Structure 1
Amino acid sequence: MADLLQLPALGARQAYHALRRDTLADVTGAPVAELSLVPPLFVDRTVQELRRARPLPAAERIAALRRAGEIFAEGTPDGQTVDDYQLAVCRVGGVPMPVVQGATEIIRRACATVQQVLDAARPGGAVSDWRDESTRWGSAVWTRRGEVLGVVAAGNHPGVHSFWLEALALGYRVAVRPSRREPFTPFRLIAALREAGFGADQVAFLPCDHHGGDVLVQATDLSVVYGGDDVVKAYGHDPRVLVQGPGRAKILVGADADWRAQLDTITTSIAHNAGLTCVNTTAVLVEGDHTAVAEAVAELLVELPSLRPELEKAALPVEPLGSAERLDAYLRATSAGANRLTGTGAFHEPLSDGSAVLRPAVLALPSATAGQLRVELPFPCVWIAPWSRADGLEPLGESLVLTAMTGDAQLVDDLLAMPTVANLYLGAYPTTWFEPGLPHDGFLADFLMRNKAFAR
């Protein structure tokens, strides 16, 4: 056990090796790392120390974030190379190597472009500093709603840790409770941030159990919490909590669209990043022959190879065999009544090392109101159903991203006005497309900041 990678907590003073530790195994069952688990009291005390600390000046925060991005992507924070870090994420999380490498660049870019994101998020009539000349005659000043942000993180994709960097740039102190499935990214990122100039009392890494996570949410001023429908139910009513639940991204193929010319957009939306993210398409609604679309999509997705996650051409997620079998059984039960287009065998393919690749699943449904359209799984799994104007817009809602392949301007107006469609793309933009300076589920700053009138 002494040879295992050690991931201590990073409290407000120094690294803390807890007595209680969780051994993290890779997808074959081999132990890889030990994760220190801190008690709730440690969580609460760390948050209080973060609250007492003052943030770095704004310009220093931005400069330190830029340095941290380079250290994360190329350096050796806490003595670990980027190759060793990426291999650990692949082997323990089952995330394909190209996805982990891409996420490394996402985080580097997020650190480099954070000022651009803040500039885009700040209201045009507000300034970020009361010393701005415009406040001599009265101005709105953009200010924090609190001092400490808690993050109860997801483990599906390393890129989720690019999101909370915006809070650090705004002067929040940040405490992250990592997923036990993938603690490697936040540990490396926080170590890089500290090496770049953020003090231990600015950003903390707090592995803990579920009770500790609840304490983190209660102790911090505001929190971002990731999870499924159960998390939405538990925290969705709390105005201090921003819930990042299922994405349920969708594509609408309008009757006026040439879907054959858009097959690459559709398949990319489903399978990019191994189907692991909240912006991967899980439902395609077709104003026309939905079976023909499903058949064409399935023909392309079945070509994806079944490989160990650390290989350069890996494209699909890998799970321990038992976990893959449980997901397979769940999908078989859930898909009753659907027409499966990706063969008749299992939805997973065992490898020789005790793990299994989760294979793409394309399932055609008879109706736009079928309950399966809400089912989101951590691999390329898509439900394809017919849609008509008579079905109304409701089947297209509850979507983090909706790509609409249509030239119908009235329909676009209606979709853009829907409160349950967070982001709307038209034409050849896959649901996985994103650029710095654009909102994800709104800007995080929409939740973190407020405007105050100020005059001097």
Structure 2
Amino acid sequence: MRPAPGAAGVLRCFRGGRWYESADTTAVVGGLRVCLAPEIMLRGDARKAPAGPLRMAGAARREILRRAVSSFRDGAPVVGGIGAQDPAGFAASLGEIVGLPESLVWRWCDLLAASIAELAEVAPDRHSTLVWLPGNTFTCLVAVAEAVLRGSVVVVRPSNREPLSSARFVAALLDAGWPADRIRFCPTETAMLDPLIRLTDRQIVYGGETVGAAVSDVSTVEFRGPGRACAIVAADTDPDHTAAWLAGLVAADSGRFCTNVCTIACLGDPAALTNRLGALLDGIELAADPRWPVGWVSERTADRTADFVAGRTTAADRRLTTRELVVHSGGRTFLAPTLLRLPSPAGHPLAGCELPFPFASVVAADEPAVQRLVARSRFVYRTGVSA
């Protein structure tokens, strides 16, 4: 990938009320690097954190969030090591860092704003809150807003795959009037999860199954893990209408949300439906589709994902989309929307599998099989079936 416009340099930590350039850094993409906070720094900062509750009314905290959301989307907050970056520069940087089409940058900004506006009022507390963020979408910054509404001392740990959006949100909060001594921006190695849990009172942790297993016994952690979203399709649904509905569930937001459907269970014969759905997914224009733009990826990510799928596809599986999985177009690399028909969801390594692009498997299922799918899914969509 080319260097990210406006985002070359060394993205700094924020600690002690200022942006701080640590000795250790790691590469993000192009000319951008991010500073890493070692454990000794994390421990020292935790000892110096404010001890009492925030003396600020709930209305004032919500007003800070309102101004921060506006600055995040439409302003030019100053990020340490990067400087002021206007909205166009921010969108261009996310295109370079994580292959996000500009239309999705603005859509995700709007989704984040709506999620923050819907947060319930909470009483302030004296706790510190760790927010361990994922790299797939910056809409998860709503968790930082939740901690702000509580008046917490907020410790933001970004994904090292995409730390820019969370640094921008921290900068926007500071510009909006959030106390500088009540927020820290701490990029770290993944091994720092356990120390950060021990150094904070409450934790909101995003991640996959490995992270989930690591925090499963920690009572203070709210784990927001894989969605394994599934769609249950009744036997008598209209195939054209249902295929259009499913295409959006699979392909919206470039397939990168935990709410995107990755398993479709049909209580009837899926043939007519899946033929139509496969054609709709094949018709998506990569990057520029007005309904469901697909983001691009690095060559490394494309090859690794293609090898993952190939290694788990069996002779009994049938591909229902016609494009190759990896597509090169306009100087970029894409993972094309893909639909597979599996003989059974039971024990299949691709059943319920979340991948960083629009990917779903279709199975014919009876009610017991549907219930097994539903039991392991955080998000369940139904058509023609009572909940």
TM-score, L = length of structure 1: 0.77
Residue 317 of structure 1: which of 287, 295, 308 is its match? Answer: 295
Task: Kindly provide the amino acid, as one letter, of the partner of residue 399 in structure 1.
Answer: S
Alpha-carbon deviations, 1:12-41, whole Å to 9, x = none?
Answer: 32110112222321xxxxx13221112112
Judged with a 3 Å threshold, the aligned counterparts in structure 2 of structure 1 residues 274 and 392 are, in CA distance, closer, same or farther, namely closer
Residue 161 of structure 1: which of 113, 116, 141 is its match? Answer: 141
Structure 1 contact 365–383 (Cα < 8 Å) conserved: yes
Alpha-carbon deviations, 1:359-392, whole Å to 9, x = none?
Answer: 1110011124242212111100000101112535
Partner of 1:338: 317
Judged with a 3 Å threshold, the aligned counterparts in structure 2 of structure 1 residues 213 and 391 are, in CA distance, closer, same or farther, namely closer
Partner of 1:131: none
Q: Partner of 1:304: helix, strand, or coil?
A: coil
Task: Kindly provide the amino acid, as one letter, of the partner of residue 119 in structure 2.
Answer: V
Partner of 1:363: 340
Matches within 5 A, 1:371-390: 371=348, 372-390=350-368
How far off its partner does 1:399 sit?
Answer: 1.4
How far off its partner does 1:168 sit?
Answer: 1.0
How far off its partner does 1:104 sit?
Answer: 1.6
Residue 14 of structure 2: which of 5, 10, 18 is its match? Answer: 10
Return the alpha-carbon distance in structure 2 between the equivalents of residues 313 and 268 of structure 1. 8
Matches within 5 A, 1:397-416: 397-408=375-386, 412=387
Structure 1 contact 98–314 (Cα < 8 Å) conserved: no
Return the alpha-carbon distance in structure 2 between the equivalents of residues 174 and 394 of structure 1. 38
Return the alpha-carbon distance in structure 2 between the equivalents of residues 39 and 335 of structure 1. 41
Matched-pair identity in %: 23
Q: Structure 2: which 5+ runs fail to align? A: 79-83
Structure 1 contact 154–179 (Cα < 8 Å) conserved: yes
Residue 208 of structure 2: which of 228, 232, 239 is its match? Answer: 228
Judged with a 3 Å threshold, the aligned counterparts in structure 2 of structure 1 residues 35 and 312 are, in CA distance, closer, same or farther, namely farther
Q: Partner of 2:379: helix, strand, or coil?
A: strand
Judged with a 3 Å threshold, the aligned counterparts in structure 2 of structure 1 residues 373 and 314 are, in CA distance, closer, same or farther, namely closer
Return the alpha-carbon distance in structure 2 between the equivalents of residues 3 and 378 of structure 1. 23
Q: Partner of 1:118: helix, strand, or coil?
A: coil
How far off its partner does 1:191 sit?
Answer: 0.3
Structure 2 contact 167–185 (Cα < 8 Å) conserved: yes
Partner of 1:266: 246
My pick for the range that moved more, 256-265 or 154-163, is 256-265
Q: What is the number of residues matched between the two proteins?
A: 375
1:46 is aligned to 2:51: no
Residue 25 of structure 2: which of 16, 21, 25 is its match? Answer: 21
Return the alpha-carbon distance in structure 2 between the equivalents of residues 322 and 351 of structure 1. 16
Higher RCO structure (Cα 8 Å, ≥6 apart): 1
Return the alpha-carbon distance in structure 2 between the equivalents of residues 235 and 275 of structure 1. 26
Q: Structure 1: which 5+ runs fail to align? A: 26-30, 123-127, 129-142, 413-456
Alpha-carbon deviations, 1:111-160, whole Å to 9, x = none?
Answer: 4x1xx4215xx7xxxxx5xxxxxxxxxxxxxx75x601101110101111
My pick for the range that moved more, 269-278 or 95-104, is 95-104
Judged with a 3 Å threshold, the aligned counterparts in structure 2 of structure 1 residues 272 and 363 are, in CA distance, closer, same or farther, namely same
TM-score, L = length of structure 2: 0.90
Judged with a 3 Å threshold, the aligned counterparts in structure 2 of structure 1 residues 3 and 335 are, in CA distance, closer, same or farther, namely closer
Task: Kindly provide the amino acid, as one letter, of the partner of residue 32 in structure 1.
Answer: G
My pick for the range that moved more, 376-385 or 97-106, is 97-106
Return the alpha-carbon distance in structure 1 between the equivalents of residues 368 and 33 of structure 2. 55
1:64 is aligned to 2:64: yes
Return the alpha-carbon distance in structure 1 between the equivalents of residues 131 and 158 of structure 2. 8
Partner of 1:393: 371
Matches within 5 A, 1:102-141: 102-111=107-116, 113=117, 116-119=118-121, 128=123
Alpha-carbon deviations, 1:42-76, whole Å to 9, x = none?
Answer: 22222333342542332221111111111111111
Judged with a 3 Å threshold, the aligned counterparts in structure 2 of structure 1 residues 70 and 38 are, in CA distance, closer, same or farther, namely same
How far off its partner does 1:396 sit?
Answer: 2.3
Judged with a 3 Å threshold, the aligned counterparts in structure 2 of structure 1 residues 193 and 3 are, in CA distance, closer, same or farther, namely closer
Aligned-pair RMSD on alpha carbons? 2.3
Structure 2 contact 239–276 (Cα < 8 Å) conserved: no
